[in-house]
Structure 1
Amino acid sequence: MDGMTIALQYCHITVNDPDESLAFYRDALGLEVRNDVASGGHRWVTLGSTTQPGLEIVLSEPHAGRSQADGDTMQELLTKGVLPMFVFRTDDVDATFETVRASGAEVLQEPIDQAWGPRDCAFRDPSGNLIRIQQEAKA
């Protein structure tokens, strides 16, 4: 393991409609589109942040790259809103909250100071995924 490095490169978020999701991830959160690929009737949109150039978020539909049965299962979990949440960090959670709220995103929690340290808020993206946005606790 000497000299070996490892880092997260891609994180996949399952969405119902990549175009609708771009209004949230690109326009409200401010991520930049890095790639937009269509293949086999499906589409993968890759986004990233200038603050983490080596990490990309991939938006794809439930059936993209999956069997019919697996895609159906992913669709069911997405519809129930039980897929894993995603947590973003920002240096100003209150300003970020106002920007995301102004986009029309469903607000689940306004910014509050959590007992375990960070100040955070929560939204649902257009597909129902739980998105939390945190700011490090001020020392």
Structure 2
Amino acid sequence: MLNNLGITQIYVLDQDQALDFYVGKLGLEVHTDADLGFMRWLTVNVPGVPDREILLERPGPPAMSENTAAEVRELLTKGATGGTLFFRCDDAYKTHAELKAKGVELPEEPTDRDYGIDFGLRDPFGNNIRIGQMKQP
């Protein structure tokens, strides 16, 4: 039976640029950076939470054909593919201000909602990110 989700994956066009954003701007840490020969296995995680990784993967073989990879790259640049990463924080207003000071483009201000305070942004490749301070049950 399943008991944990260890790795989730998003597509990025440039893994070094992804590192700059996810580590340099959002404050995640590198978990694994390995050259497997056929691909670079690059994962990051929230500091102190190494059992939940995000694979920052370039679209291409061996996971898909080069033709499919080209289509995925085109959709990614339009913000029309991928899912959403949801991060939690203790103080949404403070996190928003810290990210803004680091030069992160933030199209939304933190908004108080029924479930907590959150805001959204996109990474440099068009992937959706939401950051929220959740209300206690």
TM-score category, normalised to shorter length = 0.7 to 0.9
CA drift of 1:47 comes to: 0.7
Aligned length: 135
| Counterpart contact for 2:29–2:44, Cα < 8 Å | yes
| Counterpart contact for 2:10–2:83, Cα < 8 Å | no
Of 18, 29, 32, 2:29 maps to 32
Counterpart code for 2:27: G
| Counterpart contact for 1:16–1:61, Cα < 8 Å | yes
Q: What is the CA–CA distance in structure 2 between the aligned matches of 1:64 and 1:97, rounded to whole Å? A: 37
Considering only aligned residues, what root-mean-square deviation do their CA atoms show, in Å? 2.0
Match of residue 129 from structure 1: 127
SS at match of 1:107: coil
What do residues 11-48 of structure 1 show as CA deviations (whole Å, max 9, x unaligned)?
11111111111122112221110111234464231111
- Note the residue ranges of structure 2 that are not aligned, 5 or more in a row: none
Q: What is the CA–CA distance in structure 2 between the aligned matches of 1:90 and 1:76, rounded to whole Å? A: 32
Q: Verify: 1:60 aligned to 2:57, yes or no.
A: yes
- Label 1:94 to 1:138 Cα distance change in 2 as closer, same or farther (>3 A): farther
CA drift of 1:138 comes to: 5.5
Q: TM-score, normalised by structure 2?
A: 0.86
- Structure that is richer in strand per residue: 1
- Note the residue ranges of structure 1 that are not aligned, 5 or more in a row: none
| Counterpart contact for 1:24–1:125, Cα < 8 Å | yes
What do residues 52-110 of structure 1 show as CA deviations (whole Å, max 9, x unaligned)?
33110110112253211221222122111022121111111112112222222221211
Moved over 4 A (4+): none
